[in-house]
Amino acid sequence: MIFKEQILLRYKQLVQDRIDVFQDMITGLATDAQNDAKGSAGDKHETALSMMHIEQEKLTQKLREILEQKEILNQIDPQTNNKKIALGSLVKVNEMWLFLSTALPKTEIEGKTIFALSTQSPLGSKLMGKEVGNSVEINGKVYEVIQIY
Phi/psi at 29 (5° precision): -65, -40
| pLDDT attached to residue 10 | 97
Phi/psi at 81 (5° precision): -120, 115
Mean pLDDT in runs of 10 for the chain (149 residues)?
92 98 92 67 69 91 97 96 94 96 96 97 97 96 96
Q: How many residues does the chain have?
A: 149
What's this model's pTM, rounded to 2 decimal places? 0.86
| pLDDT attached to residue 59 | 95
In the chain, where are the structural domains located?
A: 3-74, 90-148
What three-state secondary structure class fits 19?
A: helix
